[in-house]
Structure 1
Amino acid sequence: MKILIRLPNWLGDVVMSTAFVATVKQLYPDAQIDAIIKKELSNIVPLIPGLTQIHPFSKQEFSGLSGVYRFGKKLRTERYDLFFNLPQSLSSFVMGWATSAKKRVGFGKEGGSFLLTNSYKKPANVHRVDEYVSLLEQFTGKTLPHEPVKLNAVTTSPKQTNQVLINFNSEASSRRMPLDKGRALLNTLTSTFTNTTFCLIGSSKEAVFVSQLIIGSENSDRLENYAGKTDLPGLCNLMAQSTAMLTTDSGPAHLANSVGTPVIALFGAGNEHNTAPYNKQNLTVLRYGKLTCEPCVRNTCKLYGVPKCMELLDELQIINALSLYLNHA
């Protein structure tokens, strides 16, 4: 049997889909399981256990619905038996239909579900990981064990004692740490944990924001800037070597959680019941929790401009959470 999975379009969702891939592998242990993924994220796929072949998809090269149809049609020669669609977008429905896979399985959505052979209702108010696995449960009619989220970091380096990764970035401004709050937090962290090195991460386009955080911070000799200097496999390895990670609600939170690094996740606009890192071991989720608007699940803060839910996060709670993994000095 040959199975094709259309993986999600965002880093965090791709990490959360690893539990789905693991469950497919358990259900079909002798099958070849391939994946379609956005080209920009394709270098993380070799770290996902259970996949055989990768089909990177570029929106620039295959633009519009006609483009995704051409891309899907290219895969007809693979003769897939099963196509699982996770993004729930019209373009992904068209792509799956174009592959001519015998069965095309996904959550129905107005305007696209007729392109599936097996269309199911997406469950409401469940974690994204459980949502994905429920697609398999509805398709097979079985209650399935929900596997942990897992990526295979390839590092051979030992854990770095008292090295903490910090990610204050997010694609959504409502989930990003405000600049002044971020600097204040860095000052509190470096003055509290005097034997600890703090490594700030981010993509190339987030490098300016990370530099602004560091400029003017106290104890900057213990702040290292990795923004724009790692690819996704390298970032996973850096996470696997670190003592812990302090992060906003973002893709890197899921990356660290998937390689077993302790995570303190700071939530504001996002809903932790749907999108917090999935593995509960060594996970602390913190939010301010006293504003009537949180979680608003918006990408921008409509009420205050700068997200007050992030500005008001309790620094003492953050220090106490990190203290579980660090030695005071």
Structure 2
Amino acid sequence: MKHPLPARPAHIAILRLSALGDVCNLVPTVRALQRQWPDVRITWIIGKGEHSLLTGLSGVEFVVYDKATGLAGMRAIWRQLADTRFDVLLHMQQALRASVLSLGLKAGVRVGYDKARAKDAQHWFTHRQIAPRERAHVLESFMDFARLLGVEDTRPRWDLPIPEAARHEARRLSGEAAYALISPCANPRLRNFRNWSAEGYASVIEHLWSQHGLKSVLTGGGSVQEREMGERIRALVDAEAVIDAIGGSSLKGLLALIDQARLVIAPDSGPVHMANALGRPTVGLYATTNPDRAAPYCWRQAVVNRYPDAVRTFLHKAPDEVPWGQRVRHPDAMSLIRTEDVTARADALLASTDPAAGVAR
């Protein structure tokens, strides 16, 4: 017998800990739930860094889990929520850590992914599963949870909060001139070959400067890899054309920098999805991940897509022969992206979008 779903849930728990891009893609589901039930209480159990990006999101109570605290951190959350029973728990993290965390939460019904999309045996930890869907974008996979609960209005909306302190931080870093924002590196993880070359970025920066009069603001975290990438790029371009803010902003400050940019260029990483959430023109650079699944949702037509070429070149298969979401874990995959691919997309977006609003003219 299936566990019944509440017709009008009063309190919904969302369990999604990471990552930055994914939590940005989940926000439209939150907004859809709020449109359907304006009085619903939503508690989102989220990772520490992701919370720093979304803190202040209207109508959402956050419970923060720092994965560095391990089981002790889980127990602290279980104690915090010991007297709380949710009408429904939306288990939206396909990871064993999150499934273990879910065991200490009280909920009338637990909803997870369908068996085909569930990883780490997540379906063993849930009562109900979303409807199967082949070849879904990440945002649509999240929205399927709302659809299962009966939500019909699934138009994507974000309304991310940016405090004035973050805007001040952004102005301090960027100055007053118009700029493009380039976040050259994805999260520095093992075999995460999503980064394009310093030479490629330098050529794009010179193009934006000479053809559009746009400075480029480089952003990213403070890792050695990211700082070294910034140094290599700066050594190849006119000093007036670039501002190196790598490691220099908070996540809210980065959000504010993105919000004031004429254009955002980055590989598959948090910043392209943050830019998408803010409606900023976005060129995503994709070769190791499938943009049909993970591109910036509203700017899919502007993606530089060399994923099919990478599948053929490095996996020796046709794109329709590999599993949905298959990554091309090869250090040379991103070299398939050409400078002219990126500058052509950038030129088209700058010509077709309003500089102030970041929307199509």
Q: Shorter-chain TM-score: which interval?
A: 0.7 to 0.9
Equivalent position of 2:220 in the other structure: 202
Q: Say which SS state the counterpart of residue 82 (structure 2) adopts.
A: helix
Question: Sequence identity of aligned pairs in percent?
Answer: 19
Give structure 2 stretches of 5+ with no counterpart.
1-9, 313-318, 356-361
- Normalization by structure 1: what TM-score? 0.84
Which secondary structure state, in structure 2, belongs to the residue aligned with residue 314 of structure 1?
Answer: helix
Superposed CA RMSD in Å reads 3.0
5+ unaligned residues in a row in structure 1: which ranges?
Answer: none
SS at match of 1:84: strand
Is this contact kept in 1: 2:53–2:251, CA < 8 A?
yes
Instruction: Measure how far apart 1:240 and its partner are.
Output: 1.2
Give the drift of 1:273: 1.2
Task: Say whether 1:169 aligns with 2:185.
Answer: yes
8 Å contact kept, 2:288–2:310: no
Distance 1:119 1:322, change over 3 A: closer
- The 5-angstrom pairing of residues 14-53 of structure 1 reads 14-51=23-60, 53=61
Match of 1:103 among 80, 101, 109: 109
Amino acid at match of 1:129: L
Distance apart, 1:102 and its partner CA: 1.8
Query: Which residue number corresponds to residue 249 of structure 2?
Result: 230
Answer yes or no: is the 8 Å Cα contact 1:120–1:138 preserved in 2.
Answer: yes
User: Match of 2:156?
Assistant: 147
* Count of residues in correspondence between the two structures: 319
CA distance in 2, matches of 1:132, 1:251: 17
TM-score by length of 2: 0.77
C-alpha separation between the residues in 1 aligned to 2:143 and 2:343? 37
Do the aligned residues in 1 keep the contact of 2:183 with 2:219 (CA within 8 Å)?
A: yes
> 1:192/1:290 Cα in 2 relative to 1: closer, same or farther (>3 Å)?
farther
Deviation track 1:49-70 (CA, whole Å, cap 9, x = no partner) reads 431x21110122134xx86466
Tell me if structure 1 keeps the 8 A contact 2:258–2:264. yes
The answer to whether the 8 Å contact 2:287/2:310 transfers is: no
Report matched runs for 1:69-84 at 5 Å: 71-72=77-78, 74-84=80-90
Of 199, 206, 212, 1:187 maps to 206
Indicate yes or no: 2:141 matched with 1:131: yes
Matched with 2:64 is 56
**Larger helix proportion, structure 1 or 2?**
2
Structure 1 counterpart SS, 2:285: strand
CA 1:318–1:117 in 2, change beyond 3 Å: closer, same or farther? closer
- Alignment of 1:259 with 2:265, yes or no, is no
SS in 2 for 1:151: coil
Cα shift at 1:91: 2.5
User: CA 1:200–1:107 in 2, change beyond 3 Å: closer, same or farther?
Assistant: same
Shift of 1:94: 2.6
2:32 aligned partner, one-letter code: T
User: Which of 6, 9, 20 is equivalent to 2:18?
Assistant: 9
